[in-house]
Structure formats: C-alpha cells, structure tokens
Chain A
Amino acid sequence: MKIAHIIIIGLSILLVTYTATSFIVLEININEMKKTAIERNITIASTLMHDFDRFVKKRIDDFKQITYSIEVQNAIHKSNELFQKRAEQNNNSNNNINQHTQSVTDTHVEDAQLTNELKVIIEFYKNVYEHSVIDEIFITNQYGENIALGTGISDFRQDDETWWQVTKKDGFFIGKPAYSDNYKTHTIPIGLRINDDAGNFLGVLRISLNLADILNDLKADSKILSNENKNVYIIDDAGNIVYSSKRDDFFYEKYKEFESISGVIGTFESSKEEKTNFITFATSTGFLDFPGFGWHIIIEQDEASILEDISNVRNELIIITIVGIGMVIMIGLIITYFISKSLEDITNVATHLAKGDFNYIIKPSKFVEFQVILNSFKKAAGSIKQLIETEKELAESQTRVKNERLLAIGELSSSLAHDLKNPLAVIKTGIDAIKRNSEGTTPEIQKEVFPRMERAIRRMNHQIEDVLNYVRITPINVKDNSMLKIIQSSIELIKIPENIKIKIPKEDITILCDKEKIEIVFINLILNAIQAIGDKAGNIIISTSKKHTHDTVEIQDDGEGIAEENMKKIFTPLFTTKMKGTGLGLSICKNIIEQHGWSIDVQINPTRFIIKIPHK
C-alpha cells in the first residue's frame, strides 16, 4: 500500500466527517430557523390580531359615544313616548297590528335634528380618515322604528330583523361582511344598544362599518409582510376569507385549511404540489370589553423562502466539499510526491551505503523527520567509514610492518653483502701480500697484514651476529632479575677503555625481563657511548629511578652528541653514521625493549637513552 493512498483516504475520511457534521449542523440550524420563523410568524399574527381588535374596538367605542349623547337619548325617549301613545290609541281601536304598524310607520316621527347630527358625524369621519368609514348609520327607538338616518337606505321598522333583536337582547351585534350593492363596498353591520342612565332599553344604533376602513392598517402591514414572502389572511369565525393579501378575488371563499385552526394561536404545515407552507394563525380574543369578532389572522409562509439563505449555505457547503475533495487529492499527491521523493533519496543513500560508497553526498531533506533519518545515515556512514578506515589502517600498518621488515631484511642482505665484501677484500689482499712475500711471515707482514686480516674476520663475525640478532626474534623468557646484576654483567662483557669512567646505579630494582636480551641492550648502548666518547676522557652514567607508574633506566654519556636531524632515524634499521657500523644496534635494542612491552627514547645534550618500564 502506498503512503499516498493512506494520506488521501485519511484526509478524505476527515473531509467526509467534516462535511457530514456540517450537514447535520445545517439540518439542526434549518430546524432552528424554521422554528424561529414560525415563532416570529405567530408573534406577528398575534400582534396583527391584537391591533385589528383594538382598532375595531376603537371604532365601536367612537360610535358608542353617540349612544351616550343626551340629545340622542332625549330624541329616542321622545320618540318612544310618542310611539307608546299612538300604540295605546291603536290598541283601543282594536285594529289589526299589521295595519297599526303600517299606520305607525306612516305616521312615524323622524327626528330631523338627529338625522342631521348623524350626517355631521359621517362627514367628520370622512374628513378625518379621508375615506368612508361608515356606510350606513341610523337609530331606531325601542320599537324598532327608524328615527334618524345618517346615511343609506333603511326600512322604517327594524324590530322584526334578527340583528335588531340580537342587539336589543345582547347589547351588541356584529354581522357577516357583505357586499352592499347600495354602497358598492363590503360592509360589516354592527348594532349597538342605546340605554338610558338607569340602563333601560331606549333604542338601537345601527352602523355598517366599511370593511376597507377596518382592514386599512392591516393591509399596510400585509404589504410589508408580502415582501418577506408571507401571505396574510383574515378569515371569519366560519372560515370565510375576509381578506387575503395574495389576491382580492378570494373574498368570502372558504379557507381551505380552516379545519386545522383551533385555539388562540397555533401553527401547522400544509404540503401541496411538493411545496410546504408553514401556516401560523392567531384568533381574535377581543380588546378590553370588546369580545372580538372571533376572526382569525393567518400567516402563510413558504418553506423555501425560510430556507432561502440556508439553501445558499447548503450549496456553498457542497461546493466547499467538492473543492475540498479536489484539494485533498492535490495535497495527497503533493505530499506523496515529496515523501516519495524523500524516501527515494533515503533509499538511494541506503543503497549507496550498502554498496560501501561512504563518500556518497547525502542531500539535505526539506523535512525535519527525513533529515533525522538522513542524519542517522550520515552518522552511521561516518562511523562505518571510520571503522573501515581504522581496519584498513590497521591492516595496512600490519602489512607495512611486515613489508618494512621484509624490506629491512632485503636491505640488510645487500648491506651485509657489501659490508662482508670489504673485510673479504682485506683478507684477499692480505693473502696476496703473504703470497708475494717469499720469505714468509716477515715482521712487516706480521705488523701490517695479520692484524688487519684478524680484524676483518672479527668484523665479519660482528656483522653476522648483528644481523642474526636483528632478524631472529626469539621469544623472551622473563624472570625476576636484578637490574644491577644485568648492568654489571653487561659491563663485564665489554672492554671499557681506560679513558672512560662508568657509573652504575647505587639502588637496585627488580625487573621482570629476559636477562640475556636485556644484556644485549645494555651492551649496545654502552658500546655506543664508548664509541661516542672515543679517545677523549669521558663518563658513562647509568641510573635507575622508581616512578609512580613506571621505573626508568637511563644511560648518559658526555661523548660526541647526536645531530638533531638524526634523532628520528637512530632507531631505524641500517641507519648509521659510523664507518663500520651496521646500523642495527639500536634497532635491536628497540626490538627487545618493545618485545618486553617497554619503551626506549633518546634525548640529546647530553646524549641520554631512557628506558621506561611500566609497572604491570
């Protein structure tokens, strides 16, 4: 499986989760918004209803003022009395009631003054509200006879009308809105009972309120609400549409959802043709003593209009999701590219390291994590490289030592050949000299030739010994030895010339060593010192000392010193500044010392060889 796939899948899951969560949150918000919108609509409906009721109450109150007017009451009172008298007269004559009625009507007393007053009132309202508020106004006496007609056409007698009887009984009548051909408008008939101060029934005031006037304010509000995609309806208690902000021709049609309306306020959903309407309603509860018409204000709102903003959000969310998926894939690919590339680089590095190419240049990575890996590689490569180099050096140094040894032996051989040829030449020439001397061993021959020949033989022997000592590294046989004794026996083996004084240490130290070999060392060093001093008077001082970590033995002479440039070379095999030296003496010393695990060093002015013997 590729890392890229995991990243893309991971990011996609993240994105899907995010989107799903967003959708859930959105749904919750949609519900909240619906709720809020509906609640708002209920409030609006209630307020509208309340305002409507207050308005109607105000209008009715205005007209009630008329019923309290003394002139009106007096006029009705007068009319009632007159009517009563006539009725009594008619009763006496036992005439048919119908005929009576007819006669009363015929003879009814219309109060011209009152009529004029009503007309003034109408004019007043017209002036104030700039439209017709009242379409009909008249007053009847307690017998239903019309005594004052402000406007409209009225029968003279109203006592047989239902509205008149309801008004007389309940004090208040409100009729159904109706189109009045007379007034070319919808009107609502209202009846108000006129009482005297004692509360006795005097008569009835009848007004027809212009529906347009009552709905005037509501219409204005509805228009504003229409802009918010809300339709406002007013229906009466029977479910007939009194007003619709949607269309005028709905008038007095049955409101379709009327069955669902019950209670003071409420809400329900209505679905048709794939459209959902939220319907909220408020029922008239009247205002103060005005009981209200029992009408309902309904606000319909389309679900789509509520969710208009939200659906934009939903669309945005979808776009964001699509763009997000695109981005995820892009990011995945980009990350993959970088990671794959980095991994490829790392693999490259690893491959090169595996092949042993430790000089492969590790390119730095842009990513910290990969850099850490690369750093580890770098470190590992460095360590391995160092290890290999150390191994190589070790192997090389071993080979070099071996080679040096072989080379030294080679050189030694040639040196030996050369050096042996000189004494051989001496012997050969010596023999030639003897041959030529027929008289045999003359004193001259004995003096000039024989010692030279003997020396030549000694020299050859010495050469061979030296070479053997150098070439043949025999295993050391260590025992505890007295250093003083070794020094003494070494000195005994050498003929110390008379011009040289040799001092040996006073204090002895016990050393674990091979006596024979260490003697060779001392013999060589003492011989070197003797040769350095030469014929002059001189001293050789041998001293020992005990130190914290090691013991030392020093051999010092005051002879001819070692040139500084030769300091480094003096332990090198075959290096010699002497005519008859083999250049092996100090090499042999060094070999023996190192075989013991000791070290030997040299200082000049005065010449001093220092042997360090570390404590075991």
Chain B
Amino acid sequence: MTIILFVDDDTDLLGLNTFMLKNIGYETITATNGEEAVIKFKESAPDITIMDIKMPKMDGFDAFFKMKKIKEDAKIVLISAYAVDEKKVLKAKSMGLLEMISKPYDFEEIENIIKKHTPTKAQEF
C-alpha cells in the first residue's frame, strides 16, 4: 500500500485531503509543521510526501532539505499558497523536487501526481 505523508499547518485542509486520499485508497500520515514532518518521514518512510511551504517551526523548504539528506531519492511535492523564494525553489528542483503546486488546487492534480510517481503501488491497489 502506498504511504503518503501529507503536511500542512491548516488542519481543515489536512483533514479534508486525508479524507479524500483515504477514500481513494491511500494510507495517509499527517504532520502540521516541518519538524513533525521530518520526524514522521523518518519513522514511516513514506512513498511520497506532499508538503505545504509556509508552516510554523520549520518551513516546507527546510523540511524538504532535511528529508533529502535522510533519503536522497525521497519523492517530495511542495505546495505553495503564495509567491515563494525562487532560489530555494531552484535549489530544491536541482535536488530532485518532483512538483510545485499552488493553492487552491484541484484534488485531481494531487491524485495524478501520486499516481505518476508511485505507479506500481497504485496498480497493487
């Protein structure tokens, strides 16, 4: 079963997305900030991580870099609500950032990205 780590400080958004992902058959782990996300990432070794950039304690970028240190080929998608630091985006891309998506997004977009990057496991489902 594909494990998805979904990170967002907005608990309502996090709840809805978890609800949706569970509905289509993914196991979803959540975190509300960067720090928590990194811990969950270590514990669960998710197949893909979808993470908001603007978060308290540790932002999405920093969490991204830490995760990449832990696991070089970690699959991570970042979500932005607003303008982001382009340098960090470029750096993240050079380190293998899968995608950048903007709020508000179609849930289909999330679904497609997950399918695209975790084909085998989706087939299993």
Contacts and interface: CB of A to CB of B under 8 A. Distances in A.
B19 A448 contact: yes
A432 B19 contact: no
A47 interface: no
A429 B16 contact: yes
B12 interface: yes
A325 interface: no
B73 interface: no
A455 B12 contact: yes
Contacts of B20: 429, 432-433, 436
Interface stretch (A66-74, A161-169, A420-428, A510-518): A420-428
A414 B82 contact: yes
B9 to A, nearest CB: 5
A421 B103 contact: yes
A417 B80 CA distance: 12
B12 A456 contact: yes
B54 interface: yes
Chain A interface, DSSP helix/strand/loop, else mixed = helix
Interface in A430-462: 430, 432-433, 436, 444, 448-449, 452, 455-456
Given A421-B103, A425-B105, A579-B9, A433 B83 contact: no
Contact of A424 (B16, B19, B103): B103
A247 B82 CA distance: 140
B81 A449 contact: no
Nearest to B102: A421
Nearest to B18: A448
Given A418-B81, A579-B9, A425 B104 contact: yes
A444 B81 CA distance: 28
Most buried by B among A414, A429, A452: A429
A439 to B, nearest CB: 12
B70 interface: no
A455 to B, nearest CB: 6
A426 B11 CA distance: 10
B17 A429 contact: yes
A449 B104 CA distance: 16
Contact of B82 (A417, A426, A455, A579): A417
A355 B56 CA distance: 54
Contact of B107 (A414, A433, A444, A456): A433
Contacts of B10: 422-423, 425-426, 579
A558 B111 CA distance: 46
B24 to A, nearest CB: 8
B11 to A, nearest CB: 8
Contact of A422 (B13, B15, B19, B106): B13
Given A421-B104, A422-B103, A424-B104, A429 B13 contact: yes
A421 B16 contact: no
B106 A428 contact: yes
B56 A428 contact: no
B124 interface: no
Contacts of A433: 16, 19-20, 23, 107
B103 A432 contact: no
Contacts of A428: 104-107
B83 A414 contact: yes
Contacts of B104: 421, 424-425, 427-429
B83 A426 contact: no
Given A421-B82, A421-B103, A425-B105, A579 B56 contact: yes
Most buried by B among A418, A421, A433, A448: A421
A429 B15 CA distance: 10
Contacts of A421: 81-82, 103-104
A430 B16 contact: yes
Interface in B92-110: 103-108
B16 A418 contact: no
B14 to A, nearest CB: 10
Contacts of B82: 414, 417-418, 421
B53 to A, nearest CB: 10
Contacts of A444: 19
Nearest to B11: A579
Contacts of B17: 429
A449 B103 contact: no
Interface of A: 414, 417-418, 421-430, 432-433, 436, 444, 448-449, 452, 455-456, 579
Instruction: List the 6 closest pairs (A to B, CB-CB), nearest first.
Output: A432-B107, A428-B104, A421-B81, A425-B103, A425-B104, A418-B82
Interface of B: 9-13, 15-17, 19-20, 23, 32, 54, 56, 81-83, 103-108
10 contacts: A418-B82, A421-B81, A421-B103, A422-B81, A425-B104, A427-B104, A429-B16, A433-B107, A579-B9, A579-B10
